[in-house]
Amino acid sequence: MTRPTKTLTRADALIEAGLARPERLGELEQVAARYAVSLTPDVAELIDPADANDPIARQFIPDAAELATEPGEAADPIGDDAHSPVEGIVHRYPDRVLLKLVHVCPVYCRFCFRREMVGPGRRRALSRAALDAALDYVRAHPEIWEVILTGGDPLILSPRRLREVMRALADIEHVKIVRVHSRVPAVAPGRITGDLVRALKASGKATYVVLHANHPRELTARARAACARIVDAGIPLLSQSVLLRGVNDDPATLAALMRALVECRIKPYYLHHGDLAPGTAHLRTTIGEGQALMRTLHGRNSGLCQPTYVLDIPGGHGKSPIGPTYLHGVAKAGVGTTRVEIEDFNGRRHVYPPAGAM
């Protein structure tokens, strides 16, 4: 397939690029009328049109299943609105806030938990007045230690705009950490220029970039080079991934993704259970399936490759770890002694402390 030279944002463009069959035009247009569509050339190039179950296509090509809303699915599945004191700010946890700078992305994931809030037809970015009010909120709350730039995708901003925000945060004494969540290094690696990387730095603050990637094929040579530009500039990279049915919900793919990230000097941070966003049921796994996959990672892959499996509790109650437990019972074994059963990575159980130990 010839590599597209432009970002694909329409149903007919997907068909012209050979990424979808012509008979699917009607369903693609129906989905695109409701939820934003965008595939960068780097993403489009990864898709194998001959594979009906291609894991990259499954993340970015619209599917008629998105038009079905299941019970429990909601426009704001993780409850951002309940914790938004001013436009652009989400203050859910005491020591950190989200600062949602933009409402657009270079690509639109079919499972996005903010899919009702991002894309064409929405405001592209915070207005100057809204940004000033958001920064004033941060200044007025000394408990805020970390500011997380998100959206949308903040790295879609120009280096000039990004630099302005970072300089404003640099002037807030109690903010010590700036974290940037982005897909850009993988889906539009050409945007990671030296100028943009320099713009990510804030004097006196520690900057972290968290890359969203869900499949090892996303870490192309261009993506790896973009990530290297960030890391070589002294900015640590972490990752977050979403557990997705038909994309990374098998042991080999999940392990390959985590290893590929670590090879790029990216520490796996979160593996998210799929949120209850409208029209995403076909992509969600069960928690039990996710826990089983985490067990396969444990002990068989380096500790560097272990993300924390988390669920954002619907209603705005925050993230909780939901990985498997290896503690299987607590029993008294005499005065002042408690013994537990611990499961090893092979599934065998061991009493701790062992008999005879203090």
3-state secondary structure (DSSP) of residue 143: coil
Residue 175 Cα to chain centre, angstroms: 23
- Torsional sign, CA 94, 99, 105, 106: negative
d(CA 18, CA 126): 36
Task: Check: CB of residue 113 under 8 Å from CB of residue 159.
Answer: no
- Least Cα distance to 294 among 271, 263, 267 occurs for 271
3-state secondary structure (DSSP) of residue 227: helix
* Residue 87: both structure tokens together: 């436009």
Task: Check: CB of residue 111 under 8 Å from CB of residue 142.
Answer: no
- Least Cα distance to 121 among 104, 96, 98 occurs for 104
Residues involved in catalysis: 92-93, 96, 105, 109, 112, 114, 275, 312, 319
Alpha helix (H) residue ranges in the chain: 11-16, 25-34, 41-46, 55-60, 128-139, 159-170, 184-187, 194-199, 221-232, 251-263, 287-297
